[in-house]
Structure 1
Amino acid sequence: MSGGGKGVSTAAAISNAITNLYATVFGSCHRLEPLPVEKKSMWRREMDCLLSVCDYIVEFFPSKDILPDGTTREVMATRPRSDIYVNLPALEKLDDMLLFPDRDSSDKGCWYPNVQCGRASVGDAIYRGMSFPGKFSPEYLLDCLELSSEHEALEAADRVEAAMHVWRRKAGHGHARSPWGAVKDLMESDKNVMLASRAEDALLCLKHRFPGLSQTTLDASKIQHNKDVGQAVLESYSRVLESLAYTIVTCIDDVLFADESARKIG
């Protein structure tokens, strides 16, 4: 940026580039059909360029080098960083699976919310629904909340996600000073594990019910404050592929519903 601005970190710039590329290529795709050749070519070309930075994210490991005279010496060699080596090929394979094939072709740094009571994060209404001793239904909980707009849904998602992390952290911390204290801590830990699991289910259900939901505070904070380029690539790549997969599944559901309706009429 000119004018003395600091701009954004490399990690955030690449994350934004992948997100913007996804919106350009897939933003107008609302039907179950092969991706136009020009858009498919754009996606491949631009993603290859953006992913190429991962070729230079390496780690050192001890190795041996054989000299011309037959002697060996210890050297430090490089290899892809482990998280990239494991996850990037899997994402690229999923990418190949999700892109609509041509008809004539064969298919080929972490943020946490401020610590506070989890109940205070979600509010009494949601907490009562999550702490109910019977069988938990995230769909019923969302029905009771009567969320009428994406703004209300995003606010609920923020609160549920913050509470989920608080309960997970509390479940992992227990310090007993007496036998009774140990029992009490165990009971509290089990309750926090249950609440965290139910919060995760509710958050997933909420995102399915509102597929166009904006990024939560946690997601936005991860993207904004992350300085690790490799992690930024993996996060943004997996996020856009998840969005594409959901779009495809939704289109398939629409086709099946239309077919079933036509059969009933016929």
Structure 2
Amino acid sequence: MQIMTPKARSDVHVNLPALQKLDSMLIEVLDSMVDTEYWYVESGSRSGGRGKNNGERQTKKWWLPSPCVPEQGLSQFQRKRIVFQAKLVHQILKAAKSINEQVLLQIPIPMAVMDALPKSGRSSLGEDLYHAITTDYIPIEEIFVSLSLKTEHSVLETMNRLEGALFAWNQRISEERSRRSPARHSWKFMKDSSSELEKMSACIERVETLIQLLKSRFPNLPPTFIDVVKVQYNEDVGHAIVEAYSRVLVGVAFSILSRVAEIMLEDDLVKKPNTPMSSLKFDLSSDVYLAGITETPPGHIRRSLMDQISMVDGRFDAVVKKRGAKQLMW
């Protein structure tokens, strides 16, 4: 005789305790921020601290209190302590974000939304980005630095286009593999189909790499269209709990890092009053603000995407004419 006992789902059983541990670590970090050398005042009232040129520092988040530091700046001990706390929070953020991305991958796209998504990678990406992705001559890093990413809206739009192409290509590969049958098709047809699927798989890898570059460069982007509809139409309670919990932890961790960056910026403005504020940037890997940071990876020349495509298309067309290869239609 067997007695049925309740058993937790494996994904929830693993992820939920991990998120609870990350939650407690965040609380411990916040509780450790006592006896500090910095303090906060309401925006518009900076009489108690020193800032750049003893004046108010303009900030986009005017509703948040402004950090203040002593006239001589933070001590070396205090600065190292803040950096240690920031690095710990950064690791928590990466762990929570990884869990969130994993659970979003497990949530299926609603059938009602699939019909609204692009049916091909070309229509989703647009001609310029499509040619850059499907051509091996252009490194992903150069495509990344050539994208127009001036605003959060443009970055999110690019992410939506890339994810739409991923969905279309993955659907195409699944359909081709499910209906492929050696008994129904000739060997030549099977060979051409396999070659096309291999090219499509290579493009999927390039798009996934580009998405990871965008996520690392813009860590606090709003959710993409596909992620939003997944959460909105999700009917799995376990997925909903893990996704919401991890998303909240990511937001809290990012807010803490933002406040730490403001403190470090204020400290540098006091210690280096003649340094332009636009040239200061906090880097967790070196715990200092770095001047003159460029987004262009070393060894790559920043060129416009159209220049790259024009250069590549000339060589690609020559290869096509020479070998009689077919143009990609997906």
Structure 2 gap ranges (5+): 34-87, 89-106, 262-281, 292-330
The 1:192–1:237 alpha-carbon spacing in structure 2 relative to 1, beyond 3 Å, is: farther
- Greater displacement, 170-179 / 92-101: 92-101
1:205 aligns with 2:213: yes
Aligned to 2:167: 165
Q: Distance in 1 between matches of 2:255 and 2:196?
A: 40
The 1:189–1:91 alpha-carbon spacing in structure 2 relative to 1, beyond 3 Å, is: farther
How many angstroms does 1:258 deviate by? 1.9
Whether contact under 8 Å (1:171, 1:188) holds in the other structure is: no
Aligned to 1:256: 286
Q: Distance in 2 between matches of 1:255 and 1:186?
A: 44
> What is the TM-score of this pair, normalised by structure 1?
0.59
Whether contact under 8 Å (1:165, 1:196) holds in the other structure is: no
Select the residue among 155, 163, 168 that pairs with 2:157: 155
Whether contact under 8 Å (2:118, 2:165) holds in the other structure is: no
> What is the TM-score of this pair, normalised by structure 2?
0.49
Aligned to 1:84: 12
How many angstroms does 1:256 deviate by? 2.3
How many angstroms does 1:168 deviate by? 2.0
Q: Distance in 2 between matches of 1:145 and 1:193?
A: 22
Matches within 5 A, 1:85-124: 85-99=13-27, 100=29, 102-103=31-32, 110-111=108-109, 113=114, 114=117, 116-124=119-127
Which ranges of 4 or more aligned residues in structure 1 deviate by more than 6 Å?
A: 247-250
Aligned to 1:21: none
Select the residue among 104, 125, 128 that pairs with 1:125: 128
Q: Distance in 2 between matches of 1:182 and 1:97?
A: 54
Partner AA of 1:131 in structure 2: T
Aligned to 2:145: 143
Q: Distance in 2 between matches of 1:141 and 1:132?
A: 11
Q: Distance in 2 between matches of 1:217 and 1:260?
A: 34
How many angstroms does 1:93 deviate by? 3.0
Whether contact under 8 Å (1:154, 1:216) holds in the other structure is: yes
Q: Distance in 2 between matches of 1:130 and 1:243?
A: 32
Aligned to 2:202: 194
Count of residues in Structure 1 that have an aligned counterpart in Structure 2? 186
The 1:244–1:129 alpha-carbon spacing in structure 2 relative to 1, beyond 3 Å, is: farther
Q: Distance in 2 between matches of 1:259 and 1:147?
A: 22
Whether contact under 8 Å (1:164, 1:199) holds in the other structure is: yes
1:183 aligns with 2:191: yes
Q: Percent identity?
A: 33
Structure 1 gap ranges (5+): 1-72, 262-266
How many angstroms does 1:160 deviate by? 0.6
Deviation track 1:181-237 (CA, whole Å, cap 9, x = no partner) reads 221122122112111121122122223333342221111101111122211111122
